[in-house]
Amino acid sequence: MIKGTYFCVDAHTCGNPVRLVTSGHPNLIGNTMSEKRQDFLANYDWIRKALMFEPRGHDMMSGSFLYPPCSANSDASILFIETSGCLPMCGHGTIGTVTAAIETGLLTPKVPGKLTLDVPAGQINIDYKQTDNKVDWVKIYNVPAYLAHMDAILEVPGLGSLTVDVSYGGNYYVIVDPQENFPGLRHWSAADILRWSPIVREAARQQLVCVHPDDPTVQGVSHVLWTGETISEGSDGANAVFYGDKAIDRSPCGTGTSARLAQLFARGILKVGDTYTHESIIGSQFIGKVESATKVGDYDAIRPSIQGWARVFGQNAITIDDSDPYAFGFQV
């Protein structure tokens, strides 16, 4: 029996996929996107699994639904869907969603070149530049980011100890800089990153408490950000961000870049007004900036911005037919 056909615009942000689903939105209960995210996870997660996992998606697949605004001052809301679940915030997902929605006419801003969007992690502001019907770039003024743990020592079974920071940029990141048991991301293969990241994440989950002071549904380390040498001209830093079970972000990761900015600010390496060009494992770049200093609960925090680009490359009509044994996807 067919459960639904979902029309999608397929795009990528600096190499990482974004599938904007333009039909079949479930009617979600809640006044905020955080509450609607909980309702989606409890009652409609099968849609995410069908559209993100193989055979309709793949390990890195990520996407979104646009919803009407939750707040009086916003233009729209975004629900993020990924192989890893429904993230509170996704930077590359926002850049791809805004690009696809503006280019296809799904979103019409009240003020040209500007948007205010509700996301599960809070409210974000957007500037974007459009030439004819193409969006050249999107800049996100993200939710506040803060350093939650500094110089924590993780015992990682099989690898040894790692000294790490944990930083929040819309999701919680374990940040691993080069050290004795990690030579730097350009000295490890992608297979090494995929092998050690789940073990490091699990060690962090066991050993370090992370709960967002303003929203306890946002909790727990979900991503691992490995750093190392840059390969692209103009980059200030490089990362490989691990998420889900088997994904390395092909974009420089918006929430990861925000978390990195908060870490470098807390360590006194960046100050308000500084920019930081961050590159991904494939060398694609986002421009991060420490826009201002703020607070998250009792923590010193920053308001980061991230600027990047996306390209739309296709339209899709995906049918979920539950007589298909793999209707709701699989993972190998």
Q: What residues act catalytically?
A: 90, 253
Residue 48 binding ligand PYC, by CB under 6 A: no
Residue 90 binding ligand PYC, by CB under 6 A: yes
Give the binding range for ligand PYC (CB under 6 A) out of 33-41, 84-92, 145-153, 156-164. 84-92
One character per residue 178-217, x = contact with ligand PYC (rule: CB under 6 A):
----------------------------------------
Residues in a beta bridge with 12: 17, 311
d(CA 302, CA 311) in angstroms, rounded, equals: 29
Residue 243 binding ligand PYC, by CB under 6 A: yes
- Contact between 128 and 117 (Cβ < 8 Å): no
Residue 254 binding ligand PYC, by CB under 6 A: yes
Exposed/middle/buried for residue 263 (C-beta within 10 Å: 0-12, 13-18, 19+): buried
Number of residues located near ligand PYC, criterion CB under 6 A: 11
Q: Is 21 helix (H, G, I), strand (E, B) or coil?
A: strand
Tell which one of 15, 17, 63, 91 touches ligand PYC (CB under 6 A).
91
- b/e sequence 110-133, b meaning 16+ C-beta within 10 Å: eeeeebbbbbbbbbbebebebeee
Q: How far is the CB of 253 from ligand PYC (least distance, A)?
A: 4
Structure tokens at 232: 């692209």
Structure tokens at 306: 């991230």
Q: Which is nearer to ligand PYC, 87 or 174 (CB)?
A: 87
Residue 260 binding ligand PYC, by CB under 6 A: no
Q: Of 41, 116, 39, nearest to 75 (Cα)?
A: 116
Q: How far is the CB of 62 from ligand PYC (least distance, A)?
A: 6
Q: Which residues inside 138-167 make contact with ligand PYC, applying CB under 6 A?
A: none
* CB count in 10 Å sphere of residue 161: 13
Cα angle, residue 289 at apex, residues 197 and 189 outer, rounded to 5°: 25
Q: Which is nearer to ligand PYC, 87 or 143 (CB)?
A: 87
Residue 253 binding ligand PYC, by CB under 6 A: yes
Residues that bind ligand PYC (CB under 6 A): 62, 87, 90-92, 243, 249, 251, 253-255
